[in-house]
Amino acid sequence: MSLDVSPHLLRALRTVIETGSLTAASERLGFTQSALSKQIASLEAAAGRQLVRRGPRGVEPTEAGNRLAVRAAAVLDQLEAAQRELAEEAAPLDGRVALGGFPTTAMRLVPRTIARVRAEHPSVAVDFLESSTPVQIRRLRAGRLDLALLSSGAGLPGWELTGIEVEPVPSGSLLLAVGRQHRLAGAERVDVADLADEDWIAGRGARGEPQFGAWPTLPHPRVTAELADWSTRLGFVAAGLGVTTIPSLALGALPDGVVCVEVDDPEWTGRRLLLARVGVLTGPARVVRAALLSEARRLG
């Protein structure tokens, strides 16, 4: 048996079962009762089973009819979703998308995402709001953000994300940034033990904003400066005043006097970059999401 039938037959079965009446179903679908009866008969012939029974209280599904109706509903829902997506694709996208992120994401990932959206969908505008992860979570719940880039993992609080959908964003590894004249500048990889006596330039910012400074697993790092701005931190590193850590997503923003080195550290479990949202995304927001994930894969 091959159940290769037209969607309108599945829709007929679903409507008959929902209404419990051929008369009501035919009125809803815009067919005559005779035409609807023929559709049900055609579906029963294809299925090789009786799907509905006519009784004194209307039409009732058989067990086979109920099972097929469940599958039919899923098929019809998917077809309707595809129709909506194709319609949105054909229509010009137009709208604004509010995207949140912490400062490190603004170094390369967010600008490249906005530039890509602007080039491919000129009528979609992206408003970027830079803030810490806790602030972004509040803004998401309040409907002030459509999408938000959050950080989670080692060294950060466990965020309360009930009602918020998240997906991982490729973000690469954590690297050591040193000045070009530093003793480790020519190495491809170093062991974490080689970093014990370094002077560290650390980040300073709002609670919940991932900070990059001393290597995370060092027990007693010697921090010689805490600076809020990335450009200032990297300027100190370039001048040989210390070293710092930097995520690979930000590599393109390095000044000429700074190079990066990979670190071997089995104790470092890492952090994750997450893209968060609440509810169903609009067409413009889906465009921004796709562009952001694509750029993250390129950078990571």
CATH number of 7-90: 1.10.10.10
Domain ranges in the chain are 7-90, 95-300
Highest mean pLDDT among 5-9, 123-127, 210-214, 228-232: 123-127
Q: pTM, whole model, 2 decimals?
A: 0.63
Q: At 71, which helix (H) or strand (E)?
A: helix 63-90
pLDDT, tens only, 68-104: 988 888 888 888 877 777 766 665 678 999 999 988 8
Spatial CB neighbours of 54, under 8 Å, sequence gap ≥ 6: 22
What pLDDT does residue 274 have?
Answer: 92
What is the b/e burial string over 50-88, where b = at least 16 CB atoms within 10 angstroms of the residue's CB? ebbeeeeeebebeeebeebbeebbeeeeeeeeeeeeeee
* 174-179: strand order across its sheet: 189-191, 258-264, 174-179, 244-247
Structure token digits, residue 53: 């029974």
Q: Which fold has domain 95-300?
A: D-Maltodextrin-Binding Protein; domain 2 (3.40.190)
Q: How far apart are CA 3 and CA 1, in angstroms?
A: 6
The residue among 172, 180, 171 whose CA lies nearest residue 260 is 180
Structure token digits, residue 287: 């465009």
Highest mean pLDDT among 11-20, 207-216, 227-236, 257-266: 257-266
Give burial (CB, 10 Å; 0-12/13-18/19+) of 150: buried
pLDDT, tens only, 259-271: 999 999 998 887 7
Question: Residue for token digits 């409507």?
Answer: 15
First-residue to last-residue Cα distance in the chain: 50
Q: What is the mean pLDDT of residues 164-190?
A: 92
Listing DSSP states for 12-59 in one string gives HHHHHHHHT-HHHHHHHHT--HHHHHHHHHHHHHHHTS--EEEETTEE
